[in-house]
Amino acid sequence: MSHSARIERALETAVASAQAEDAAPGLAAAIRYAVFPGGARVRPQLCLAVAAACGDGGHDLVDAAAASIELLHCASLVHDDLPCFDDADLRRGKPTVHAKFGVPLALLTGDALIVMAFDVLARAGVADPVRLPGLMSCIARGVGAPYGIVAGQAWECEITAPVDAYHQAKTGALFVAATTAGALAAGSDPAPWRALGEGLGAAYQVADDLLDALGDCEESGKTSGRDDALQRPSAVKALGVRGAVALLESHLDRAAASIPECAGAKALRETVRVQATRLVPKQLARTAA
């Protein structure tokens, strides 16, 4: 089964657990809407790719880790889009969850997705409990306080924020969770995989700044120009478009170079290359990518 198929199957199983004939219908619908259809599923793809590079052949706990991370990512998008943060109407080319279901259900949808993300780990962990605590803590660190994506969003509520810590928490932390959780779920040491997550997370943050600044709503599928409107730090503002593209490419090179020697290293470098072509906005892509 392809990685994409494994991810969608694990997400479908998770989302189905929240649907029931006697469930509150609005919440059930909003949860499904927040998860399907997805974006590129970058983080769970990365998680599965690292697990495969570590020699995993299709362990349930690996799929659960990938789904958990994507559910947490979806939760963060739903909450970040709310009027009290980005106030965004558009996400993945369709109305945001609160634009379609209202603010109260959007808030609850995010909450339910966070709970679901850990329940997914629990269900798969029954067959493999020894790997479960480390995997949970690894993913929790990428999401919660003080260094996960929730903390990253919290830096936007401060008058000043250290840019590196802000970006690392807001974007990098969940990429690091994706690579290290992939290794952990496959029974491998997570430490050698941190740098890959950090490099890709940093690249992704610059790519996001570029997409936002270049204002290509069609390509990004979301409201653009928000960094500027909300006075958030941006690589484009600091370095200009050319400087930001160079920075993005250096992050990607660093990420690819960090991949440790292992059975699946070659395939994983190819995955990183494919992600790279996705990350650089089309109008700026280097020919080689």
- Whose Cβ is closer to its own copies: residue 25's or residue 243's? 25
Number of residues interacting with its own copies: please give it, by CB under 8 A: 62
Cα torsion for 3, 7, 10, 14, to the nearest 10°? 180
Task: Calculate ∠ Cα 12-138-62, nearest 5°.
Answer: 40
According to CB under 8 A, which residues from 210 to 249 bind its own copies? none
Q: Are 62 and 132 within 8 A, CB to CB?
A: no
- Whose Cβ is closer to its own copies: residue 49's or residue 116's? 116
According to the binding rule CB under 8 A, does residue 129 interact with its own copies? yes
In angstroms, give the least distance from the CB of 47 to its own copies: 18
Cα torsion for 126, 131, 135, 137, to the nearest 10°? 100
- Whose Cβ is closer to its own copies: residue 90's or residue 154's? 154
In whole angstroms, give the CA distance from residue 8 to residue 37.
Answer: 9
- Whose Cβ is closer to its own copies: residue 173's or residue 196's? 173
Among 90, 163, 165, 195, the residue binding its own copies under the rule CB under 8 A is 165
Tell me whether residue 121 is exposed, middle or buried, using C-beta atoms within 10 angstroms of its C-beta: 0 to 12, 13 to 18, 19 or more: buried
Cα torsion for 258, 262, 263, 266, to the nearest 10°? 20
Provide the binding-site residues for its own copies, judged by CB under 8 A: 18-20, 22-28, 31, 75, 79, 82, 84-85, 102-105, 107-108, 110-112, 114-116, 118-119, 121-123, 125-126, 129-130, 132-134, 136-137, 140-141, 143-148, 150-151, 153-158, 161-162, 165, 169
